Structure 1
Amino acid sequence: MTGQHTTDADEVWMSRALELAERGPEADANPRVGCVLVGPDGSLVAEGWHRGAGTPHAEADALAAAGDRAEGCTAYASLEPCNHTGRTQPCAQALRAARVRRVVFAQTDPNPAAAGGGQWLLEHGVGTRAGVLATEAELLNRTWTQLVTTGRPWVTWKLATTLDGRSAAADGTSRWITGEKARQDVHVQRSRCGAILVGTGTALTDDPHLTARRADGRLYERQPVRVVMGVRELAVTARVLDDAAPTWHLRTRDPHEVLAALARAEIHHLWLEGGPTVAAAFMSAGLVDEVVAYVAPVLLGRGRPSVGDLGITTMGRALRLEPTDITLIGHDVRLTACLKEIG
């Protein structure tokens, strides 16, 4: 797919489209998308972004803002315009109907049901260019992309650990390993996910609320689904069963069954906060994509390990992680890492 011309201006305007896309709800069933309409003279005509499932797509939002001024414009979209009728009408057809002259997009739509808009535009006389800042666009929607391409959600395992790898003291106490600033950062990260999961062991022992709360204690407007995995019954008074957020009790010990249930609900990012047994189950099954470890400058010497048995008995088979970010938060370190192959 080729365009009529390419300039550095394409990257400048696509950067703006990506900035707009970031305004969309990250945990929504739909991807985050931004769109910019630029006139023939190179001036900004209109902007738009997608605000979540059931609302206008970014292109439709921008076209509505532009009105008749859309004619002759170049449209910059962070995701290939869709060419299917879902909750809204096809964006590719709307762009052509508005007499947009050229369409530049970043990420090619990986969803088979919606892909093909770029080719449709080209076949109907609209110049196109694909792949401008594609890497940045794919990173923006990496969890959604994983769901539509693999059929399973992205899994982030969060752990809080001491320097000697303990998640709790010998007497079972775990509050608090990390400081207040690190704990508040966890709430920010929770708010960005579609679901948060613990096992019945954690639910029974710690009685967590599993909500995403602001520093002043107020709940974020959008709450992740609280998932408890395991066959044991929960106490009717468990805090996780209150009405602060939806709660699922999935009576299984199989991580695959859990992710299948989330996928059916179009949840594409799971925040895993379970104890060492649940963490080991997901890790051993190869179902963890990313680890976010909050490491405190604390030593215990004894206590519960951060993860259970992974079946690894020699250093040659150690599970190696690739760090992607290291940030000091208060007195603690947040280490983010993606998984690499064993060996």
Structure 2
Amino acid sequence: MANAHEYEVAAMRRAIAISAQGMGSTSPNPPVGCVILDSEGRTVGEGYHVRKGESHAEVNALSAAGDRAEGGTAVVTLEPCNHYGRTPPCREALINANVARVLIAVMDPTSRGEGGAALLRRAGIEVEQGFLKDEALLVLGPWQSSLNHGRPFITWIYEAGMDGNPNGDSGRGIYRGEVDSLRGSYDLVIDQEGGIEEGESGRHGNDVFQLPHGVLSSDADEIVKALGGAGARSVLLSGVANRFSLIASAGMVDQVISYLPRTPPSWSPGKDFGRVAAIPDGYRLVGLTRTESHVRVAGSRTSDFYCSSRKS
């Protein structure tokens, strides 16, 4: 970012923020945002990807900018695509718009051939990559994690018992509001009774996730394999169920959000409690918030680039 201007940093943060509006509706494509600056650094257009098969972020932003994009800068959260699919390649749209510079946060590991950035450079366009990458991963992190691990990015939210283990769920009232606020950011939400709800893609009638009948009665590997095979990139598990514990034990839950009940200021667990914990083994603390009756504990298995609805 040595050559970046303050307005370009602001533009990328704007692109990241608007890209979040595509979370839960773009899979298996990533949620991407784009801001177009004119040659004077003024914002002249912005756009984001809504769902698979529709215009990508760059095309939407260029459409809004019109001729004012010429000689300007495209600020985009993910490397522009370079292949023809349901839509033309975004690198072609940027070249045709005669932009002078492209700032990219995250490189696309699914690029075919040389990649969009290489083709933009070949066309004489200045390209900078890795621009605010860590901040862009707040939105793109689950999608990237899904590609890296060959399965959906999985979050498990539950009410814990006094010992901190996920065995004290008494009706989900404690975290129901958070589940309601998060469901639009995930492709699928699965509750402890086995109910499956699609995210925004399903609400628009796309029926994008075709899951085999009775899949949740399978073992952990088969459940996760079926979710990924259906095209889900992100899944929220809600409540306490044996199948969720099995998935977590297999190392396939990426983050946990636990609601730990308040304890007295001086407290000793009974002899039947065993080991007392805050979050399951293998996770690092990335968020702590006090509520009226609980402590919300957020843990991440891999890194702290993403924690849904981080409140601390």
Q: Do they fold alike, i.e. is TM over 0.5?
A: yes
> Offset of 1:279 from its aligned partner?
2.9
* 8 Å contact kept, 2:154–2:253: yes
Taking a change above 3 Å as real, the CA distance of residues 177 and 264 of structure 1, as seen in their structure-2 partners, is closer
Cα separation, 1, equivalents of 2:214 and 2:114? 35
1:110 aligns with 2:109: yes
Q: Percent identity?
A: 31
Q: Give the aligned CA root-mean-square deviation in angstroms.
A: 3.6
Unaligned runs of 5+ in 2: 304-312
Match of 1:327 in 2: 289
Match of 1:268 in 2: 233
Taking a change above 3 Å as real, the CA distance of residues 168 and 258 of structure 1, as seen in their structure-2 partners, is closer
In the TM superposition, what are the counterparts of 1:176-191 in structure 2 within 5 Å?
Answer: 176=171, 178-179=173-174, 182-191=175-184
Of the structure 1 ranges 85-94 and 332-341, higher mean CA displacement relative to structure 2 is found in 332-341
Taking a change above 3 Å as real, the CA distance of residues 158 and 222 of structure 1, as seen in their structure-2 partners, is farther
1:249 aligns with 2:226: no
In the TM superposition, what are the counterparts of 1:210-249 in structure 2 within 5 Å?
Answer: 221=203, 248-249=213-214
Match of 2:187 in 1: 194
* 8 Å contact kept, 2:40–2:72: no
SS at match of 2:36: strand
Taking a change above 3 Å as real, the CA distance of residues 11 and 48 of structure 1, as seen in their structure-2 partners, is same
In the TM superposition, what are the counterparts of 1:5-44 in structure 2 within 5 Å?
Answer: 5-29=3-27, 30-44=29-43
Match of 2:298 in 1: 336
> Offset of 1:7 from its aligned partner?
3.0
In structure 2, give the amino acid aligned to 1:22: A
* 8 Å contact kept, 1:109–1:115: no
> Offset of 1:212 from its aligned partner?
8.8
Q: Which has the larger radius of gyration?
A: 1
In structure 2, give the amino acid aligned to 1:101: A
Superimposed CA distance per residue, residues 187-236 of structure 1 (whole angstroms, 9 cap, x where no aligned partner): 222332212335xxx53xxxx756599xxxxxx9579x9x9xxxxxxxxx
Of the structure 1 ranges 25-34 and 72-81, higher mean CA displacement relative to structure 2 is found in 25-34
> Offset of 1:298 from its aligned partner?
7.3
In the TM superposition, what are the counterparts of 1:30-179 in structure 2 within 5 Å?
Answer: 30-113=29-112, 116-165=115-164, 175-176=170-171, 178-179=173-174
1:279 aligns with 2:272: no
> Offset of 1:153 from its aligned partner?
0.7
* 8 Å contact kept, 1:31–1:141: yes
Taking a change above 3 Å as real, the CA distance of residues 320 and 289 of structure 1, as seen in their structure-2 partners, is same
Cα separation, 1, equivalents of 2:254 and 2:91? 33
* 8 Å contact kept, 1:293–1:334: yes
In structure 2, give the amino acid aligned to 1:135: D
Unaligned runs of 5+ in 1: 214-219, 228-244, 306-312
Cα separation, 2, equivalents of 1:81 and 1:89? 11
In the alignment of these two chains, the number of paired residues is 290
> Offset of 1:274 from its aligned partner?
5.8
Cα separation, 2, equivalents of 1:97 and 1:133? 26
The equivalent position to 2:259 in structure 1, one of 294, 298, 301, is: 294
Cα separation, 1, equivalents of 2:146 and 2:114? 15
Please give the TM-score of this superposition, normalised by the length of structure 2: 0.80
